[in-house]
Structure 1
C-alpha cells in the first residue's frame, strides 16, 4: 500500500519508509505518533499541490530540538553504514525523527542535513552528488496559521514545532552557490583570539597524578670487561617506559583522571580536496569530535587560498560537538593551498587563548603544495630545497619557550612531503603519509589516541660519569635535543610521553683499564612534570655497573643494545638512501638499503628472530620497491621514506602509506591507547581498507637478571 501511494503521487517524498508497513499504517489511523501525521500531511499537501512549480514540494513537522545523544558511541561498537546518519553518526531508526533521502539515495536525519544546507552546502556529504532539491527548516507553525489547513487537513494531533520544507533550487541559486560559500570564508574575525571557552573543572585528580612513575632501566653492552682491557666506544642503553594511563582505554575520552587537551585542527579545503577526499575528511573529523571529552577543547581552522577560523576553542560538551559538526560539515573545497596562513592562524589560537589546558597540539592535513609562501629554484632532481622555516610560526617551534607540536598528515600522491615533514620536525611533531583516502580516519584515530593519554611532560634524561677517567661521547638521540658538558655530564630533552610509551637512547663512553673488581660507569636519572598535579618529579635510577675480572672467557653481548643499535643504523641508512634518491641515484639508494638488510640479518638480534629486526628488514624492502622508478618514488616513495624517518627519529607511531609488510614496525611504536582508538575507528568506519597484520602493543624489554 505504501509503495502504491508513492507511485500514484509520482513524487520522491523524503519520508521514512517503515519496515513493517501494516503496523505503521495502523499507527497512522490512531494518530499516536507525530511521524504518522508527518507522512499523511506530506501526501495530502503534495496531492493538493499537484506537482506545480510553486517551489514547495513537501511539508513535514519535526521536533526542533536535536537529540542530545547524537554523538555518543553505540554500545555495540558497530553500526551499519545505511542505518547511521553520516553527519551526527547516530542511528536512523523508526521513531527517531524525520529523515531526508536525497536524489542519490543517501539518507540523513532531517535536522542534521537541514542545518548542513543552511551553511550553503548543497551536495551530498557522502557521495558529493549535486542535489536539485534540498531540505529547508522553516519558521514555527505559529507564524504560519494559514498553512495549518494544508499541513493537517485531517486535524490530527500534531506538535506545534518547526516545519521542514523541501525546496527546489532555482538555477540562480546554483550559479551563485560558490559565491555564497566563498563569502562564508570571508566573514570578519576578531583581531585577538581571546574568546576561547573557559576550561572545564578537573575533578578527581589523584594526589600524585596518574598511576606509577617512569620506569628507568640501563643495559651495558657487556656485563664484564677484563681489568687491563680498554674500550673506546662502550655502549649503554637507557630504556624509559612511561607510567600506565587509564586501564580502561575504551573510556579514555571521558575519563576524569587524564590530562585534558587543547587541540587545533588545520584543514586543507583547496580545490584538490573536492569530492570523496573532503567527504572522508569530514567523517574523520566527526570521529575526532565524538572521541574528545567535555574537558577537551577544539578549534578548527580551514584554509585554501586564505584561512579562516571556523570557531574558537570550545569544550566538547554535547552542544559544543553539535556546533563543531555543523561547522565542519558546511565546508566546501575551492581555491589554492596556503599552508603558512593556516598554520599562522592555528598558532594564533594557541598564543592568544585566555585559559590553557595542560596538553596542547596542532593537527595539520593537506593534499597539495603551498602555492603562496614556499618557492624553490630549479626543477626535477636539481631543484634547491625550499625554505620551510617560513611555514612554521616562531612561537611553536622546538626552540620556542612553549613548544606546540604540529602533527602533519600528507594526503595523497600530490602533497608536498618535504614541507609537511619539515613542519613536523621544526615543531616537534610527527609526519604521517596517508596514501589512500579510506585511511584518513585511522590516521587521525592513532594520533588522538596518543594525545589523549599524555602522562609525562617536559621529560629530561640526565647521565653523569661516576668512575675517574670515563668520558661521555656525543649522544645520538634522533630528533631529541641533547648536550654533553665537559664529557662528564649529559642530558636529553624528551618532552611529552604518552601512557605506556617507551624511549631508548644509546650512550657511549670510554672505559679505561682498572684494578677494581667492579666499577660504576654512569648514574642515570630523569625529571619531568606531571600534567595532572603540575608537580615536578625527580627520579634517580640505579648506577650502571660492570664487572672487571682478570679475564673473560666469552663476552656476552646484550641483545637489547644490539637491537637498538640496529634501529639507529637502519634509520641512518634510510637517510643516506633518501639523499641518494633525491640526487637521482635510485640504483645506488637501493644498493644502500640492501647492504643494511644483510647486516641486519647477520646481527645477534637478527639471528635470534627478534621481531624488531624482522620489521626493519621488511621496511627497508618496502623502500627498495618504492624506489624502483623515478615515477613511483615521486608518487609515494619520498613520502613513505620521510614518514619512516619521522617515526624513527621521534620513536613514535606514524601512519605510513598502505604497506602491510612493515606495519609490524609501526605497531612496535604504538601504545595501548593508540591501538584502542585505531580499533574503534576500524569498527565504526565501513570503508574498505588494505589488509593488515594483527595489531600488537608497544614493545617492552623483558627483565634481565642482575649481571653480577
Structure 2
C-alpha cells in the first residue's frame, strides 16, 4: 500500500494518466495489479522476435498460435510500440497510462498523434491522452504534471489532454480524432542522400543469392524439332525464346575453387520505393489486423537505409499514414510506430487507397531505381470508380494507377501493383484486375498465418531487381519467313504489319528469373542447302545500378534441312512450355464457365487438359513443370466442387494461378508459400531466402536467429547441398 506509484496518485488527487520516470519510481512498480486482459497486443505481434508456439500438426492445418505469457510482462519491461527495453536509467521518459500499462513517452505520443486513443496492450479507452509539446504552463487545454520534483526544463515533460465527448454513432467512423490535414501534393518524400545512395554499390548492401553461374542476361532459343526435310514447307513452326536474368553482376567468393560446392555471389541491388496500401476496415479487426502489423514489421525490418517506404491505410476513406521516407534506424522506428497505430473500422474503399498510393508515386521529387505498390484487402470495394461508359457498376481502376509517363520517365513501363486478397470475402476479380492492368501479381492469402510469408516472397523479389525495362526484339532473317503469333502471356507484345519483326515488353526481372515465350513462324521449303536461317533475337535493358543501357544479341536461330523425311521427337523444352500455355488457357476457359454458372463444364475443361498433358513427351518424362501443372489443375477442380466452395476460394485460387503463369512469377496461393511445393515453380533463390527468414521469425527458433538480421546486412553463408 505504500508504493510510490500510489503516493503519486494520492498526491495528485486525480484518477488520470501519469507520466512516471523509472529513475524516480521505486522497484515496487512491479507490484501493480495483474493485467485486466490476457489478450496479446497488436504491438507485440509486430515484433520479429516475438514468442510463438507451434500448435500440434493436423492434416489440414499447421497454424501458429500466440503465447499468452508475453502479454503480462511485455508492457512492464518492454515498450509495446517500439519493442525496446524500458530499463531504469536508459535516458528515456516513461509514460504510465490509467490502465497501468507503460510505454516510452515519445512512442505513445506518436501513437496518439496518428489517431489512436486506446491502450495498444489491453485496448482500454483512455480518458486522457499524452501529447508532446513545448514546456509552457500557459498552453490552452493542456496540463503540466510535475509531482515528484521533475526538472521544469525537461523537454520530454508529459502533457495531458482530456478527450472531448465522444461523437455520435453517425460520425464515429469518419476518421481519427487527431488526423492531420493531408497535403494537396505528396512531394515531401525524403531526399535520397548521395552518401546513402552510394550504399547500393557497397558490399554491405548485398543480398546473398546462390547460383552456379555469374552472367548477364542470357538468351537461348530452341526449335520445335532440330531438322526438317528440304522439300517440305512447315506452317506454325514453333520456336522457344528463353530469357534468363543475371544471377550476379559482381564477384564470386575469392579463393573458392572447389567445383563440388555451389558458388555464392554477392549481388549489389537497386534500392526500392515501396508504397503499401493496407485495408483497415472493420472486418480486419482482431487477429487479422494483428498479423498484418506483424507482417509489416517484417517488411520494415528487411528494408535497407536507402530503400524508402510509405504507408496508406484505407477503410471508408484512405489516408497517408506514413510519408515516403528512407528506412534508416530512425525511419524504421517511426514506420513501426505508425503501423502499430492502426485501428480497424469502417468500410472498404479500395479505390481511394489506390488513388492515394498512386499519388505518392507520381508526386515524389526523387525516384529510386525500383518502384512498386503493395495492396492488401479482405473485402469487397464499396466505393467504385467508373469511366462513365458501359457498366456503371464496374470499377475502372486503370484511372487510378500511376501514369506510365510520370512513373518511368516516358519509358512506357508501369509501376506494378502487387495485390493480396485476404480471406474468403475479398474481391478477387477486382484485385486481379488491378494487378493485371499495372503489371503486378495477384496473390490469394487463404489463411491468416500466411500473410507474412506472402509479403516476404514478394519483397524477396523486389529487393533483387537486376534488370529494368527489358524489351525483346525478334527479327526474321529470311524474307520468306513471317511471324505468326507470340505467346507472351500478359506481357505486351506486337508483330509488325509486314510480319518481319516482333516485340515483347518484359519490364523488370528479379535475379535468377526466367521467361519463356513461344513464337510461331512459317518455314519455307529449301531447294538446296543443309540449313535454313530463321530468326535473330536481341534484347535491350537498363542496368538499375549503373543506369546504362545494355544491348545483347543471341545466336541466330537455324534449322537443319535433310533430304530424307525424318521422324523427329519434339524438343522437351518446347513441349514443356506448350503445356504451360495450354494449362493457362484451360484455366481461363474454366474460370469463364464457372462465372457463367457452369461449374460442371469448368471441371470438365480442367480434366480434359490434364488428360492431354499426360500424353505429352515432357509429362511422360516426369518433367517438374508438368507435374506441378497437373497438381494445380487438380486442386482447381476440387475448389469447384460447389458454388459455395468456388465463391469462397476457387475463384481466387484460379485467378492467382492465372496471374502466376501469365507473368511467369511466383504468387502466394491458398494456404501455402512453401518453396518445396510443386506449385511454386517460379520462386527465385532470393524469394526462398526471404521466406526462410520469415518462417524463422514466426517459429522463433534459436537456431535460426542469424536470419533475423535485415536483408541489406545479411552475411552470406554457403547454401547446403
Partner of 2:228: 225
2:441 pairs with 1:430: yes
* Inter-partner Cα distance in structure 1 for 2:99 and 2:625: 48
Q: 1:588 to 1:107 in 2, by over 3 A?
A: farther
Q: 1:576 aligns with which of 580, 589, 595?
A: 589
**1:390-444 superposed Cα distances (whole Å, 9 cap, x missing partner):** 5533615999845111111111111111111111111111111111222221111
Instruction: Determine which of 52, 55, 74 is the counterpart of 2:15.
Output: 55
Q: Distance in 1 between matches of 2:178 and 2:634?
A: 45
Q: Deviation digits for residues 92-141 of structure 1, max 9, x if unmatched?
A: 88987799999999997676456434544244657x74356999578899
What's the counterpart of residue 189 of structure 2? 196
1:673 and 2:676 matched: no
SS at match of 2:573: helix
Residue number in structure 2 paired with 1:634: 647
Number of the residue aligned with 1:693: none
Count of residue pairs brought into register by the alignment:
617
State how 1:205-604 maps to structure 2 within 5 Å: 212-245=215-248, 257-374=268-385, 386-389=394-397, 392-393=400-401, 395-396=403-404, 401=412, 403-485=414-496, 486-514=498-526, 515-551=528-564, 553-604=566-617
Quote the offset at 1:566 in angstroms.
0.6
TM-score, with normalisation over the residues of structure 1? 0.77
- Supply the distance in 1 between the matched residues of 2:156 and 2:618 (Cα, whole angstroms): 69
Contact 1:118 1:136 in 2 (8 A): no
Q: Distance in 1 between matches of 2:323 and 2:167?
A: 31
- Alpha-carbon distance between aligned partners in 2 of 1:547 and 1:170, rounded to the nearest angstrom: 83
Residue 45 of structure 1 pairs with residue 16 of structure 2: no
- Partner deviation per Cα, 1:597-627 (whole Å, 9 max, x = no partner): 1122221111111111111111111111111
CA distance 1:49–1:293, change in 2 (3 Å): closer
SS of the equivalent of 2:348 reads: coil
Structure 1: any 5+ residue segments left out of the alignment?
Answer: 1-7, 10-42, 65-76, 153-158, 250-254, 378-382, 689-708
Provide TM-score, normalisation by structure 2: 0.76
Aligned to 1:148: 148
CA contact (8 A) 2:9 2:15 kept: no
Say if 1:593 and 1:624, in contact at 8 Å, map to a contact too: yes
Distance 1:120 1:394 in 2: 28
SS in 2 for 1:669: coil
SS of equivalent residue, structure 1 residue 403: coil
Distance 1:616 1:105 in 2: 56
Q: Which residue pairs with 1:694 in the alignment?
A: none
Contact in 2 for aligned 1:343/1:391 (Cα 8 Å): no
Alignment partner, residue 704 of structure 2:
none
Matching residue of 1:644: 657
Name the SS of the counterpart of 1:591 in structure 2.
helix
> How much has 1:323 moved relative to structure 2?
2.1
Pairwise CA RMSD: 4.1
1:683 paired to 2:696: yes
Secondary structure at 1:423's aligned position in 2? helix
Look up the SS of the partner of 2:520 in the other structure. strand
Structure 2 residue 51 is matched with structure 1 residue 80:
yes
Q: Which moved further from structure 2: 661-670 or 488-497? A: 661-670
Unaligned runs of 5+ in 2: 25-47, 53-69, 138-143, 207-213, 253-265, 702-721
What's the offset of the Cα at 1:594?
Answer: 0.9
Paired position in structure 1 for 2:618: 605
